[in-house]
Amino acid sequence: MDTQAERRLTNILSADVVGYSRLLGLDEAGTLATLRAYRGIMDDLIRQHRGRVVNSAGDGILAEFQSAVLAVQCAVEIQRQIAARNQALEADRRMWFRIGINLGDVIVEHDDLFGEDVNIAARLQALAEPGGILISGAVFDQVKHKLSLGFEPLGPQHLKNIDAEVPAYRAVLQAVGEKPAIPAAPPVAPSPDERWRSLKVSAIRTGALIVLLILINLFSWQGDVWFQWPVLGVLFLFVLNATRIYRR
């Protein structure tokens, strides 16, 4: 192991431009100028909140903070200031960022950060909506009683190349002007266990409805057996629902 490497517990903020290649295709010089201006805003806010820019290669930024509260406050202020600045741009040339924040144990080497918890911040960032912020459960536990900001629980998330599920929360930000026209990241596909639970609930409801139809036929008996026809319809709907569950 490299003797220069050390470990520490820190708050990692990962930010990235939404649709950067598309923006470059529309106006390369204008996009680069906007990115430089927005980077200046972000760098200033990170310093003001006692953070440190770790890496700013490409169109993304990686920063660390000793305080989870300051990291979230910084992210909120970044999104608010960028949303305000975007109002001066044409709708299709506005530059939006996604931000993800995680608290974890990282490896520090030559002022850079490495490790699974850094990757978790990046994965949360990729799931955030344009102009939005996602935080991990570890960060939420640190800030939930210390900020007047609302958080929407999204439940455990299956993140790419991360073995354990990561609870995620979406920061509820007050809208500034028009919302981004770029669609948010697609929802994470449910796990096999979640699919099985949904199918089991659907099967129980279907069985209960079939029993109810049989009982109604028996107690209203007039010599005719009719329950099989609505039962066939119920079973058909169950098959359609099961197909939908396993296609998600």
Report CA 152 to chain centroid distance, whole Å: 11
Domain-embedded: residue 94: yes
**Residue 29 has what pLDDT?**
94
Looking at the fold, whether 38 and 93 belong to one and the same domain comes out as yes
Looking at the fold, whether 16 and 54 belong to one and the same domain comes out as yes
Domain-embedded: residue 96: yes
Domain-embedded: residue 140: yes
**Residue 3 has what pLDDT?**
55
pTM of the model: 0.68
Contacts of residue 170, Cβ cutoff 8 Å, sequence gap at least 6: 128, 129, 132, 133, 134, 151, 152, 154
Looking at the fold, whether 29 and 106 belong to one and the same domain comes out as yes
Looking at the fold, whether 114 and 152 belong to one and the same domain comes out as yes
pLDDT tens per residue, range 88-144: 999 999 999 999 999 998 888 877 888 888 889 999 999 999 999 999 999 999 999
Confidence of residue 243 (pLDDT cuts 50, 70, 90): confident
Total number of domains constituting the chain: 2
Contact 170, 132 (CB under 8 A): yes
Domain-embedded: residue 51: yes
Domain CATH code at residue 62: 3.30.70.1230
Domain-embedded: residue 53: yes
Looking at the fold, whether 197 and 147 belong to one and the same domain comes out as no
Q: Which residue has the higher pLDDT, 62 or 174?
A: 62
Looking at the fold, whether 168 and 198 belong to one and the same domain comes out as no
The CA distance from 122 to 19, in Å, is 16
Looking at the fold, whether 127 and 223 belong to one and the same domain comes out as no
Angle at 117 between CA 111 and CA 119, to 5 degrees: 85
Contact 86, 95 (CB under 8 A): yes
Confidence of residue 183 (pLDDT cuts 50, 70, 90): very low
Confidence of residue 248 (pLDDT cuts 50, 70, 90): low
**Bridge partner residues of 135 (DSSP):** 101, 169
Q: Count other Cβ atoms within 10 Å, centred on residue 231.
A: 17
**Bridge partner residues of 106 (DSSP):** 8
**Residue 66 has what pLDDT?**
93
Domain-embedded: residue 186: no
**Residue 12 has what pLDDT?**
93
Domain-embedded: residue 179: no
Mean pLDDT of 155-174: 86
**Residue 65 has what pLDDT?**
95
Looking at the fold, whether 29 and 133 belong to one and the same domain comes out as yes
Domain-embedded: residue 219: yes
Looking at the fold, whether 19 and 84 belong to one and the same domain comes out as yes
- Domain range for 150 is 6-172
